[in-house]
Amino acid sequence: MRVTLHQDKCVASGQCVLAAQDVFDQRDEDGVAVLLDDNPPAEAHDDVRHAAAVCPALAITLAES
């Protein structure tokens, strides 16, 4: 799985961090999401899919492999 985070779309809601805290974080200064791991391990995939699904800005896209 490859994860892409579109920071230009992010509205800093923090939903992705709640869903998958090993893969997403938020910048201290403005809350915009930061991608920690663009190729997360298999055990994190369900959480990452959940993060992408709940992101209100559709800022997370996934390429399944």
Q: Which amino acid is at 9?
A: K
57 vs 62, beta carbon nearer ligand SF4: 57
**In which region does residue 43 sit, left (phi positive, over 0), alpha (psi from -120 to 50) or beta (all else)?**
alpha
| Binding residues for ligand SF4 restricted to 26-45, rule: CB under 6 A | 33
The answer to whether 3 and 62 have CB atoms below 8 angstroms apart is: yes
Could you say which of 3, 10, 20, 23 contacts ligand SF4 (CB under 6 A)?
Answer: 10
Q: Are strands 60-63 and 24-26 parallel, antiparallel or unpaired?
A: unpaired
Could you say which of 1, 13, 25, 44 contacts ligand SF4 (CB under 6 A)?
Answer: 13
> Which chain residues interact with ligand SF4 by CB under 6 A?
10-16, 33, 55-57, 59-60
